[in-house]
Amino acid sequence: MTLWGVSLTAMQGLEVNEVVDWGPAIRPTRANIDLQAVVANSRRLSELAHSPVLAVVKADAYGHGAVSVARALEAARSVAGFAVSLVEEGIELRAAGITSSILVMGPSLMDSHDLMVEHELMPMISDERHLAPLARAAGKRTRVLDLHLKIDTGMGRLGLHEGSLGDVLSQIESAKNLRLVGVASHLACADEDEASDAQCMTHEQLRRFAGIVATCRKRVAPEVRYHVANSAGILRFEAARYDLARPGLALYGNGAGPGVGLRQAISLRSQVTQLRHVTTGARVSYGATWTAKRDSVLAIVPIGYADGLPRNISGKGHALIGGARMAIVGTVSMDMIVVDVTDLPAAAIGDEVVLLGSQGAESISVAQLAKQAGVSEYELTCGISKRVPRTYDERLH
């Protein structure tokens, strides 16, 4: 196990350096990623979507480690390719040896076209002004660049206007170095409550996308693939099923209720590094927000908000120690928390502490911790910082 490193992309020289190795990890705090859970989830989501999936590994695979996750999925041949947000993220995967197709979903910048072509990345076109420079960049290397179109059906963020679709298709048809391989849109409210007006918006988006698909099928090659389903779309809307699906959160076992057959892939663990005995009336941590109501035993655990443990759980969060749920007391600090283990007489220095995951019969899910902290599940896993080493479990279950 090695301590966190920094992957540096030198865009000027087009060089991608190796991760810096800072030596053995001393602090016991770490995030463990069950790669077999990710692989199993990808297969289950493909079953639910009735289509192959593009595994969304943007934002370092939602905090799980994009390179390791992509390598495991590619080796298992369980996905059709990968989707990222940034050109830099795509280059990182290529530098790590990923050969599958990589779709760059974020907005392209005018100086990124040569990099797209050089590293064989597929742009998601949401602005037709990028077509001509992409064609020129592909022409300079005598390559044909595969691309997807993104149509705005109501998200209001990125995407071509439906009215411009015909002109955009004509531009692609006339470009020798561009090839359309996908048409997509993005659902804004697929994970909202079924009784809300937002659900009506989802149905309207799907109706509009169906019309776009019908229009495109009259003009483009039959092998062009259509996709609109994100994680919530896969799980909740049969009408979102097309030729591909793009699971993100669900790929890592989050954002889905029980009975779906997905497994949480991440756990967050540390150890008790000190035990402190305090008397009745003693105050603890910043702001003196907790006062001992009895003589107490407190465990000091080296994990805090700088590691991604939300400060909002101060005074209401829990940790698992010795197979039991113990209260986090006082304010979550940058580097540590305090856990009341008075009712756990066997507590000892070196005991494992679980903040996410299972210990014995107890467990803390991403959904539970996120709700308690008042953040989304996306924010929680993406917020686990780079100073927390990731370890990977590849064993079959």
Active-site residue set: 58, 286
Beta-carbon count within 10 A of 147 CB:
25
CB 69 within 8 A of CB 35: yes
Beta-carbon count within 10 A of 142 CB:
7
Query: Which pair of structure tokens corresponds to residue 17?
Result: 């350096």
Beta-carbon count within 10 A of 211 CB:
11
CB 151 within 8 A of CB 183: yes
CA atoms within 13 A on the CB side of 130: 24
Sign of the Cα pseudo-torsion (113, 96, 384, 77, in order): positive
In angstroms, rounded to a whole number, what is the distance separating the alpha carbons of residues 357 and 326? Answer: 14
CA of residue 163 relative to chain centroid, distance: 33
Beta-carbon count within 10 A of 10 CB:
9
Question: Taking Cα atoms as reference points, which of 51, 53, 34 lies closest to residue 42?
Answer: 53
In angstroms, rounded to a whole number, what is the distance separating the alpha carbons of residues 237 and 202? Answer: 9
CB 83 within 8 A of CB 55: yes
In angstroms, rounded to a whole number, what is the distance separating the alpha carbons of residues 121 and 91? Answer: 8
